[in-house]
Amino acid sequence: MYNFDEIIDRRGTDAVKVDRCKALFGTEDVLPLWVADMDFRTPDFVLETIRQRLDHPILGYSVPPVNFKASFVKWVREHHNWDITEAQTGFVPGIVPALSFAVQCFTDPGDEIIVQPPVYYPFFNVIRNNKRVVVTNPLKEENGQFVMDLVDFEAKITDRTRLFILCNPHNPGGKVWSAETLKKVDELCTRHNILVVSDEVHADMVHRGYTHVPYATVSESAANGSVTFMAPTKVFNMPGIVSSSYIIQDTELRNRFAHFLEAAEMNTGNLFAYLTTVACYEQGEAWRVAMLDYVMGNIRYIVDYLATHLPQIKPMIPEASFLIWLDCRELGMETDELHQFFALKAGLGLNKGSVFGEGGEYHLRMNVACPRSILEKAMAQLSTAIASR
């Protein structure tokens, strides 16, 4: 029904994944397997929604459609077993801007904010750029998966610690945090009066056999002490249309954040953000399931290929999303050398692990949301490059 094997040329479309290759890798001649968007066609129900709206000749000021919040609330209830109300949600113009708004709204310059590297690198930016202090609670690796070091977490807390930014599910590791782990986080943060801001943009891309647990659902204290951000843009491959939502169940926190957005004039979206969001939540389930099945096939292909042909590269098998964290220590290269080797010798553009913070050294992040034939070419190029070292 859906052709995920289709090769789509993204050159000439101002795509970050293509147009920034020269600056990042020193060459345009790479397979771009880095930026976390998909090389699959954006779903037809998204494109058709835009086409239909363009049939009207005026693109004027717009209000959200009446079912904008309702479709999101229904999706969250059906997919994440979380009963929220429309009043507890609101529009935000993107997950990363929302993280920055939360930092500005709920903390003061000089306050400390905990993050868990290796982690999505904008977490560091929204803290430092707002003159707050990054406190790192590095993740540990056990049995091929990331785990939280909550002893270290508590040891890092001071009287200036105000906030914890949680990546749930985790990027770049693809870890789906369990209810048990999240309850322990809640106990710590409640005891020390730390607000949890949970980035759950990958929530709708959890693979079969795993279940996403929204942080706010693990206890009443978690519900009252957290801010959650979700979006359809990642899972339905439309990040160029900026549309995200917050969920804040505590009335005081919600009013405070809503007032912050209103004061900044950042509480409304454009009409395509509204319309495509509704289309995704009302029409997107079949495509989502098919896409995830294809992506899991790609993950299995990479994992099996590396185990058979390049065992010195150890992949962390993701429980969610389309990103694979590659441990390349056995190749014997420093991080910068490794990044350049993949780009200039193997022709592969991957994210450098060190940008994700402590624990990212000697690692690369690989995006496998692309046609299988691209990955087959990538592995062939990598094998040839390593064999000729």
DSSP 32-88: E--SSS-SSPPPHHHHHHHHHHHTSS--------TTHHHHHHHHHHHHH-----GGG
How much is the pLDDT for 343? 98
Question: What class, spelled out in words, does domain 61-283 have in CATH?
Answer: alpha beta
Q: Residue 1 — very low, low, confident or very high, per pLDDT cuts 50/70/90?
A: confident
- Residue 8 backbone class (left: φ over 0; alpha: ψ -120 to 50; beta: rest): beta
Spatial separation of the C-alpha atoms in residues 209 and 207, rounded to whole Å: 6
pLDDT tens digit sequence for 86-119: 999 999 999 999 999 999 999 999 999 999 999 9
pLDDT value of residue 96: 98
CATH class of the 16-43+286-384 domain in this structure: alpha beta
Residues of the chain within CATH 3.90.1150.10 domain(s) are: 16-43+286-384
Kindly provide the b/e burial profile for residues 105-120, where b requires at least 16 CB atoms within 10 angstroms of the residue's own CB.
Answer: bbbeeebbbbbbbbbb
Residue type, 259: H
Counting Cβ atoms within 10 Å, is residue 39 exposed (0-12), middle (13-18) or buried (19+)?
A: buried
pLDDT attached to residue 238: 98
Which residue spans of the chain are classified as CATH 3.40.640.10? 61-283
Close Cβ partners of 171 (under 8 Å, ≥ 6 residues apart): 36, 119, 120, 202, 321, 323
Place of tokens 């389309």: 322
Calculate mean pLDDT across residues 50-74.
Answer: 97
Residue 142 main-chain phi, psi, to 5 deg: -135, 125
**What integer is the mean pLDDT of 371-387?**
98
Whether the CB-CB separation of 253 and 105 falls below 8 Å is answered with no
- pLDDT, tens digit, 9 for 90 and up, residues 8-60: 999 999 999 999 999 999 999 999 999 999 999 999 999 999 999 999 999 99
Q: Round to the nearest angstrom and report the end-to-end CA distance of the chain.
A: 43
CA distances from 120 to 126, 167, 313 (A): 11, 8, 21
- Work out the percent of the chain whose per-residue pLDDT is above 90: 99
